[in-house]
Structure 1
Amino acid sequence: MKKMMILCFSIILIFTGGCSMNDSQNGKNGNQEEAVKPKDMNPKDLPQVPAFQDEKTREYMASTREVEPGYYLLESKLKGFTMLFPEDGEYLSRRSSLKGKNKESIGFGSYDQATNILFDGHLTYHSGASYANERETMLDIVRGKNGYKGEFEEKTSDDKVIYFAHMKDVDDDIDRKYNFTYSYFGYVKSIEADNTSLEFAFTFICKEDDKPCSLDESKARKKVEKMINSITFLKKEKLDG
């Protein structure tokens, strides 16, 4: 129960200071990669949303093209994967790191004042490490990081395997109307690239207790599944280039 209090407090401190990728998302069918990356463009010429107007976040934006309503394409700095990214998401430096050519962590989040929902996301990309291919090792890592002892849903597509779990954490120790947290976590393993995987963890909470909150589990899960299902591991030749 203490976990929620710590998580809620740390997230608030930070903010107060689908389907697999289709051809159009991958730049095919005439949608060529932009000659100038968003990070090199004038902010006035970019979409007027946090993902592009925040200097650090737009370094990860692959294109100014809206892939789906409210979502753009994120590309990791190691060019290891792409994923749909919410337009109101912002990069969190305290939860991000880049370690050589084989490991990258990306933290991001958003706060919707209209719904009073605080969203936190974290991705960790692994490449070239044998443990990334070992199912039980990766699941144990995810379990340990999220305090989870249960099983994972497994979903296989042509290019990846997704291991997915979720929890609702209710903290009865605090006098708070919205004393619950929805968490979704797991990892995605590449089928085509050896020793390549991506951990994910997403959390939703109601930020302000004195404001109405429309946090709905089915909507939260749908948002997470949209992002996770969109993950595409980039081809090795692109990594080497």
Structure 2
Amino acid sequence: MKTWLRISALWAMLLIVGCNTANNQQELEEETQEDPSTEQPSVEDEGVDNEDDRLAVEHEFTNNFLVEIDVEPGFHQMRGKLDGFEMLIPENGIISDLLHATENNDAETVIYTFNNEPEKKLYDVQVMYQSHYPEGLEQSYLNVFKHANNFEGEYEYTEVNDLEVYYGSYEDEDEYGPYLKYFGYLFSADNNQLISFSFTVMCQGEENCNFNHEEEAEMAEKLMYSIRLLDQ
């Protein structure tokens, strides 16, 4: 029950962050319209028409994580502050400084959010990187992760980017509405680095929305399989 309450509280926080980000973006656009002499963001010089879709570039804290812009259509490349991993982030993704933490220079948590406004869906992605874990405890990590995600099924297994990947997914509903969760634990095949990945999609606000499990899983896998652990 405590884990469930923490997850619900996190979702509430993410909704607030998303709303604040949208409000800040609207205020910026209004100020720009009122003062034609205001200097435009550099991304406009790159021929971008819809700045609302480039929040990662314009959001100061998020921008500090980006190592390559437009690495493919709709996505940038980000790197953790401990230089332990890289992965894709959607171009409208936002990392709040309230949802980022490092510990002893060997562990890092990054949470970023993005939304699909036309379909009223909100996404959050959480990655937890660890530079070293005790050898032989892989199954213990997987068991704890399964419990934390309220998952009663069996992991599926694959290998990608020199990583051994255990993953699962499910759909459920709570007081905020329906949601879909996709998650995985990724162990380095070469050393004792690991990273956990959690992807959640939910309805934004009180609007009804529909989830296509296959389509959402495709997005989750795209992000998860983009993860690369860097040499330490």
* TM-score, scaled relative to structure 1: 0.75
Equivalent pair of 1:95/1:122 in contact (CA under 8 Å): no
By relative contact order (CA 8 Å, sep 6+), the higher-ranking structure is: 1
Counterpart-to-counterpart distance in 1, 2:96 and 2:129 = 16
**How big is the shift at 1:214?**
4.5
Alignment size in residue pairs: 203
Deviation string 1:145-183 (CA, Å, 9 cap, x unpaired) is 212232111102361111111111123xx5x8xx31100
Alignment check: 8 A CA contact 2:161 2:228 kept: no
- The 2-side partners of 1:228 and 1:209 are apart by 28
Shift in alpha-carbon separation, 1:67–1:225, aligned structure 2, 3 A: same
User: Which sections of structure 2, spanning at least 5 residues, go unmatched?
Assistant: 21-38
| TM-fit CA distance, 1:111 | 2.3
CA distance in 2, matches of 1:144, 1:136: 12
Tell me the residue number matched to 2:17: 14
Tell me the distance in 1 between the aligned counterparts of 2:8 and 2:71: 36
Give CA-to-partner distance per residue, 1:219-241, whole Å, 9 cap, x none.
Answer: 211111001111111123xxxxx
Residue identity in the other structure for 1:217: H
SS at match of 1:56: helix
What's the secondary structure of 2:206's corresponding residue? coil
8 Å CA contact retained: 2:67, 2:77: yes
Q: Which runs of no fewer than 5 residues in structure 1 stay unpaired?
A: 18-41, 237-241
Q: Deviations over 1:19-53 (max 9, x none)?
A: xxxxxxxxxxxxxxxxxxxxxxx982247401110
* Partner residue, 1:35: none
Equivalent in the alignment of 2:83: 79
Q: 1:224 aligns with which of 201, 220, 225?
A: 220
Equivalent residue in structure 1 for 2:125, among 108, 116, 121: 121
* Structure-2 residue corresponding to 1:190: 188
1:137 corresponds to which of 140, 146, 158: 140
How much does 1:96 deviate?
1.6
Question: Which structure has greater strand proportion?
Answer: 2
Counterpart of 1:52 in structure 2 is 57
Aligned position for 2:71 = 67
**Residue 53 to residue 150, structure 1, CA distance change in 2 (3 Å):** same
Q: Structure 2 counterpart of 1:106, which letter?
A: V
Q: Counting helix residues as a fraction of each chain, which structure ranks higher?
A: 2
Deviation at 1:94, TM superposition (A): 2.7
Structure 2 residue 208 is the aligned partner of structure 1 residue 203 = no
> Cα distance 1:138–1:116, how it changes in 2: closer, same or farther (>3 A)?
same
Relative to the length of structure 2, the TM-score reads: 0.78
1:180 to 178, 181, 187: 178
**1:67 Cα offset (Å):** 1.9
Verify the 8 A CA contact 1:162 1:186 in the aligned structure 2. yes
Partner of residue 162, structure 2: 159
Deviation at 1:10, TM superposition (A): 3.6
Tell me whether 2-11 or 54-63 shows the greater mean CA deviation: 2-11
Alignment partner, residue 29 of structure 1 = none
Deviations 1:106-155 (A, max 9, x none): 01101222110100111000012216x63212212312321223211110
